[in-house]
Structure 1
């Protein structure tokens, strides 16, 4: 009875308007990110651009993400968190429109950087806002729903490729229109929110990193895996004889697994030690992607492994988000959210570059770095925690 009463109190104490705003925002950002990763890789591959250059272009997104951590807080001191997210969405729409308007490779590096810069708005403000608005007893489930929304966006993004094709910029233009419409909707929705997170303080980032190194590591590992898999698995599959539509479907299946698994994982996070769950997700990621290295693209196993692999590696981030809200509050919470952005960007820059360089030398080794990070990361978390 006491547990039921406590949970009911937690449901009341949670600001669901804030949770809804952040979740819808991350879903739409994920649509843009989920579309651009495979679509740009496929377009550049069709132009016979090297795997290393494709990895560097993906890293430009992460560089924009990291740069904005240092700039956005100063530019948005007088804005509410909801206004920052709406501004980020509008900036993302403009960037996507740029991809539709030009096929110049140098311009695409700038546009990829700009898209990362805008997307960071929700990573810095949104995740601190989400945790500030959520009671701890339901934090795992809210984090799971948030991650499921992110995964839903990643499913919709790649599926636009078979619908709109990869030529002519139509997929980019359609995504730009969608993001613009949602931005105006969120501008209205965010006005009902009653919780406002503290502004991130850049000076607090080193202190947070020193106090929570393993938490930062979880997000670096996730960024490495996420960027590597999204940007280079389409190239790996098409190089092995798969069609562009099959490569996009592979990513969609991976993210459908995420959607199904994250709410369930959220319930587990509310009932078990969250660090143990994070270590389990790392280990599962390593094992699954090791098996994908040897799986045939013509067999059924590749689809099962895709769904399980996506569920496992997104679970790393879902766990980190729940642990952040559990162990930190106030300025440390907002500084942690900003540190998460930098950590994700660092992993996202390193991942495609390292993996792309390896693929240029060993075409079958696309998933090997992901497997190593997952397995070694699980060992590190177990030893430290």
Structure 2
């Protein structure tokens, strides 16, 4: 039986979740429930066709589609979308896609306080959080505000069946990262521990099956369920070294978000492992392994993910800058940040070597 903390605080974020196959068909109901009349649908260029389909379903209550969402939420893209909002007198947002589209919607909500309906098509999880990461001048900064939490999230497994196998794997491990860091968060609590363990278990079981059978509905539903739980964890407690490293690498070197999380997670967990024995114990049980950081490294291999920063565009000469940025702007971490150890961690991640607990 898990040890109950002597005291804890649990704050639940207020959002409505609609989960189930075909639930995207209820977007009109949710627009009506929020009493919206002039909705702007958001997407990336790759998902513009589906965004247009959703906009057509909303008929007169849609003012059109903005399909310029981009990775790491660049401020200049947000400014472009703001012009659409002002010109079209928008009173609500529907965001369709992964973290890029959700991030744009949140950035717009921060500036306008417009209500949001998020329809995730990946396992990113950011739709369940009051957290926004924006990039300007090569720096990614994080903002936490209740204004950016979507009012409604629609999870429809049908929208994930066509998610490419490679992205399914990295997006799913990105979600696992939220749950892993929640297990040793400074403000962790028993409810989040339960959600995190369940999320990791669900995703670790589902992702290898999806690799073998992309349209396996049971595995896709399990992965989406795990992603919802992991996103809830991310929104409820603070993160530490892993997320700091990924924000640094993604924002500064424009590395792909999910792939960066997939590569860095085993190494960040190995770094913190000596300081978080209770979290490691839970991970051993959930992952059925004696070495959780190595198990996550091997899971990345199972789903066919790239495991080296050098293979996703990280310049070797940038490792020193990444280390310096990771040590700047002090933040909480369960283990003291050591410049040499973080340097070794980054070099192992760069080369694609297995994680090392030291």
TM-score of the aligned structures, taking structure 2 as reference length? 0.29
In the superposition, the TM-score normalised over structure 1's length comes to 0.28
**Structure with the higher helix share, 1 or 2:** 1
Q: Which of structures 1 and 2 has the larger relative contact order (alpha carbons within 8 angstroms, sep 6+)?
A: 1
More strand by share: 2
